[in-house]
Amino acid sequence: MKYRSVFDIIGPIMIGPSSSHTAGAARIGRMTRKLFGREPEWADIYLYGSFAKTYKGHGTDVAIVGGILDFDTFDERISQSLEIAKKNNINIRFIEEDALTDHPNTARIRMGDKDGEIELVGISIGGGKAEITELNGFDLKLTGHHPAILVMHNDKHGAIAAVTNILARHEINIGHMEVSRKEQGKEALMVIETDQNIPDELLHQLEQTENIVQVVKISV
């Protein structure tokens, strides 16, 4: 089941006007920022479906940029995000796409700086909830029925074992897991669905592990 917590329904506390187009959009932006791990120098934001048609009215643009600046849904700075991004010298572009997507509220975000870049597709599924469906060209085939994390890591021996060991020690059971890589020894990705919630402290602990680059909860 996609909605597991009562606070997905009663909540989030947010700046208006639209949970799908503002809060959910802010969360897609923020997930991208978290996966990138730092403030980018530039971001290209491609909007599809209802996002493309109505983003100005709903403040979807303002919200996504707010997320890229690492603001939460209730952060009142969201309404000034475009100005703040400009002041921080982040070069932002919006591109309206006509292509039909599986979900009406879809955004593709590419962001980067001189040290690297990231590309992600996120959907805003309603009530402020958002999901990542694609990351750096990796399709994420998740059931959406369980809590899930993404682990960006270096394709080195022991990286996967280290992560699963930590989860095991905290009595977290893995229901589904996928590992993919671009090429041997380079950037790789683990997608892990678990039966239990993974507390934020544990995400932090996973990130401290050797060869682990970044860990993010996939659905927030």
Partner 1 sequence: MFRNVSELVELAETQNISISEVMIRQEIEVAEKTREEIMDQMDRNLQVMEKSVEEGLKGVRSRSGLTGGDAVLIQNYMQDKEPLSGHLLLDAVSKAVATNEVNAAMGTICATPTAGSAGVVPGTLFAVKNRLNPTREQMIRYLFTAGAFGQVVANNAFISGAAGGCQAEVGSAAGMAAAAIVEMAGGTPSQSAEAMAITLKNMLGLVCDPVAGLVEVPCVKRNAMGAANAIVAADLALAGVKSRIPCDEVIGAMYRIGQSMPTALKETAQGGLAATTTGRELEAKIFGIDLKKE
Question: For the window 63-92, what string marks contact with partner 1 as x by the rule CB under 8 A?
Answer: -----------x-x--x-------------
180: which residues sit within 8 A by CB, 6+ positions away? 138, 188, 189
Residue 69 DSSP class: T
Q: Tell me which of 32, 105, 133, 219 binds partner 1, using CB under 8 A.
A: 105
Closer of 13 and 95 to partner 1 (Cβ): 13
Q: Which two tokens stand for residue 150?
A: 């993404």
Instruction: Please report whether residue 143 would count as binding partner 1 according to CB under 8 A.
Output: no
Instruction: Please report whether residue 54 would count as binding partner 1 according to CB under 8 A.
Output: yes
Instruction: Please report whether residue 13 would count as binding partner 1 according to CB under 8 A.
Output: yes
Looking only at the bridges linking them, the beta strands covering 116-126 and 42-48 are unpaired
Minimum CB distance to partner 1, residue 59 (Å): 7
Phi–psi pair at 131, nearest 5 degrees: -135, 150
Query: Under a CB-based contact definition with an 8 Å cutoff, are residues 191 and 131 in contact?
Result: no
Minimum CB distance to partner 1, residue 35 (Å): 24
Q: Which residue stretch of 34-42, 54-62, 135-143, 200-208 sits at the interface with partner 1 (rule: CB under 8 A)?
A: 54-62
Instruction: Please report whether residue 17 would count as binding partner 1 according to CB under 8 A.
Output: yes
What is the C-alpha to C-alpha distance for residues 55 and 158, in angstroms, rounded to an integer?
A: 44
Instruction: Please report whether residue 133 would count as binding partner 1 according to CB under 8 A.
Output: no
Strands across the sheet containing 212-217? 174-181, 187-194, 148-154, 212-217
Task: Summarize as ranges the residues that interact with partner 1 (CB under 8 A).
Answer: 1-23, 49-50, 53-59, 74, 76, 79, 103-105, 124-128, 196-197, 199
